[in-house]
Structure 1
Amino acid sequence: MTSHRPHAGQDGPYAQGAYEPDGTFEAAVEQLADPLNDPLPGQHTSPWFRTDTTQADGEARQTPQTEAQGPVEPPGEWYDPEGYQRDWYGHQGPEAAPASNTVRGTAVTPGPVAPAPVSAAPGPAPVLAVHDPGPGQPAGEVGAVLNDETVALRTTDTRRASQPSRSGAPDPAPEPPPTGGRAERRRAAKGRGGRRGEPRRTVEAESAESAESAGPAVPMSRLEARRAARAAKDSPAVVASRVVGEVFITFGVLMLLFVTYQLWWTNIRADQIAGRETNKIQDDWANGDRSPGAFEPGQGFAILHIPKLDVVAPIAEGISKEKVLDRGMIGHYGEGKLKTAMPSAEQGNFAVAGHRNTHGEPFRYINKLKPGDPIVVETQDAYYTYEMASILPQTSPSNVAVIDEVPAGSGFTGPGRYVTLTTCTPEFTSTYRMIVWGKMVDERPRSKGKPDALVG
């Protein structure tokens, strides 16, 4: 700012004598506050106004160039590099002058400060940032080197450090900023989750903010509600596929239950029924309630023993599936055209039938019998022992000649006392029949005890 001073010899209020000695006018002008040229503490905006002299009391005085001191020599450039550096970055001394006031949150000195010796080395000096005094720190104390920004362009971390927390407790020390340029600081800020000093926002926080910004839900109209309900319903194809899937699942469960019933439960039930029938027959014999002769269909009258297969099963009259075979018993062909002789007959073929699989399966392993293996029929009066003679692995169910008085295919050439065992084959089917024949070798009254085949 250039002083407006009166010319020499001018009369009136602007005469030389109105402002007393030279320099008073300039001192008065300097005390005016100019917001556009407000200098930093202890400095001037113009390089021509330097602190060149220091009084004895330690306060710096500005002695501007006047006409009496000679013509002003402008600098070689339009600004003084060393003065510009000292004006904006402060004095480069080991200690700073004590502060007594604060301007915009920054501790400054109330008046001009003594100049510090300027280094003769070229280039900018390191920057010292002046910050607000923290707890236990005097005002105006020079802080540590933060970055290459000036005091007027401080970062968010520096401003946060200079402001006390609401709770009164000092804030934790901010993390040191990067020492690089602006691009590096931006990259570091992005790596921390946003702007410097701001914590990284999580997905939950962003969803909560979006929900708050969305506001309350607007109720749908009746038409929109109907459309939404119609869209939520499943299509006919989806419903049909779901029904088909449920049917298949139900069918599979039922098949599994049926197989379990056939292969496991029927055997348990048949064994229980056959066991009770065997005990009943033996009790009747012991009490003398039964006698040889004709028997009603389904009535038990004998017990079959196959020692090699560990089979002990009751023999009932008839081959009814429901009354005899499915109850775990062995049926005697004694009705109609399929009627055969009893064991006590002088000659004939005692033919019986039984299940190979399920329902007690008494004939399941008769295919393992070998010629000579004993087959014993126990009645109320005697034990009839047969020896296995031959086997027909497979034949048609309609081949009834296998139970004739002289069985066809058995190898027997004439009448005799024979036994015939018939069952289904292959296993778990009823497509064909398997036939096993035997010839009587011993008849032993009960009074003489059990035969050797059952004792051994």
Structure 2
Amino acid sequence: MVPPVRDHIPVVVQGSGRRGRRAGLAGVLWAAGELAVTVGAVVLLLVVHQMWWTNRQALAGAREEVRALERGWEEPERLAPPAAEADTEADAEVDAEADAGPEPDPGASVAPSATGPGPSPSAPGGAAPPAGRAPARDQSYAVLRIPRLGLVVPVAQGIDKKAVLDKGYAGHYPGTAQPGEEGNFALAGHRNTHGEPFRYLNRLRAGDEVTVDLRGQRYTYVVGRILPETTERDMGVVAPVPRSAVKPGYGYSEPGAYITLTTCTPEYTSKYRLVVWGTLKRWSR
């Protein structure tokens, strides 16, 4: 007997669609995880570069710049012009002697010279020698030393971030006084990254000494006042007579020879400014 022919009934497998969706979701999560790990690694490398490598580079460069400045100061300055120029200038001087007036009286009073140590600027009639010609923009020309912090760092003209501050230098605010001059010798420096020369500026206390060396001259300032926090636009702190425009209780009211050190605060931010002021105590050769 021939068995009856039955219609073919397709079998439906339950759950295959769900497994496919799960596999697709797992793939998306895996890709997202890989992306997160990659982004994290890139961020970590950027942090390492910013916090470690820039410090290492800037510190090495700043130290070498200090050595270069000091080597240059040991070399004698060229005071006399070359022979050809000297002859030309001598001829001009001979021609000009006929119109020249009488020579000054050797006993007459003259401006203070830079030939040796003088009285303290705080003493009546005391004055420091001039710092010399203003340096070119972004040029390093002095060395700042803060014994309490173990800091030795070059000072350059200007506060341009890339050309000065990111090199680990202290930058001189344009328009403020030069070392030893009456007025305010104002400096800025990074607190974090790029050598962070002013990282521990908050550790300074009244009475600490800060010295500034130039060729043949040293100016010593003594810390007098500290402004823990002010806004970044408080330009009163670098005025000739420094006084905070935001917190008028901080600063000075009498003319003098001042130094101002500014940096960002709190650490790892640039929201506010920390300010340290000092007054010129003495100068020497």
Q: Which amino acid aligns with 1:306?
A: I
Equivalent position of 1:256 in the other structure: 44
* Contact persistence 2:237–2:251 (CA under 8 A): no
Residues 1:389 and 2:185 are matched in the alignment: no
Q: TM-score, normalised by structure 2?
A: 0.70
In 2: Cα distance, 1:341 partner to 1:441 partner? 16
SS at match of 1:433: strand
In 1: Cα distance, 2:77 partner to 2:44 partner? 45
Q: TM-score, normalised by structure 1?
A: 0.44
Which structure carries more strand by proportion? 2
Q: Which amino acid aligns with 1:340?
A: T
Q: CA deviation at 1:381?
A: 2.8
Match of 2:176 among 337, 340, 343: 340
Map 1:63-212; keep pairs closer than 5 Å: none
Q: CA deviation at 1:289?
A: 5.4
Unmatched segments (≥5 aa) in structure 1: 1-230, 446-456
Q: Which amino acid aligns with 1:319?
A: I
Equivalent position of 1:424 in the other structure: 264
Equivalent position of 2:30 in the other structure: 242
Equivalent position of 1:168 in the other structure: none
Equivalent position of 2:273 in the other structure: 433
* Contact persistence 1:292–1:380 (CA under 8 A): no
Q: CA deviation at 1:232?
A: 9.1
Equivalent position of 2:163 in the other structure: 323
Q: CA deviation at 1:414?
A: 1.2
* Contact persistence 2:138–2:160 (CA under 8 A): yes
Equivalent position of 2:68 in the other structure: 280
Equivalent position of 1:268 in the other structure: 56
In 2: Cα distance, 1:392 partner to 1:313 partner? 22
Q: CA deviation at 1:292?
A: 3.0
* Contact persistence 1:420–1:437 (CA under 8 A): yes
Equivalent position of 1:24 in the other structure: none
Unmatched segments (≥5 aa) in structure 2: 1-18, 79-130, 245-249
SS at match of 1:284: helix
In 1: Cα distance, 2:163 partner to 2:39 partner? 30
SS at match of 2:281: strand
Q: 1:358 to 1:424 in 2, by over 3 A?
A: same
* RMSD of aligned Cα (Å): 2.1
In 2: Cα distance, 1:270 partner to 1:297 partner? 19
* % identical equivalent positions: 43
In 1: Cα distance, 2:216 partner to 2:240 partner? 23
Q: CA deviation at 1:239?
A: 2.4
Write the deviation string for residues 289-320 of structure 1: whole angstroms up to 9, x where unpaired.
59931222221100000001100000001111
In 2: Cα distance, 1:308 partner to 1:332 partner? 21
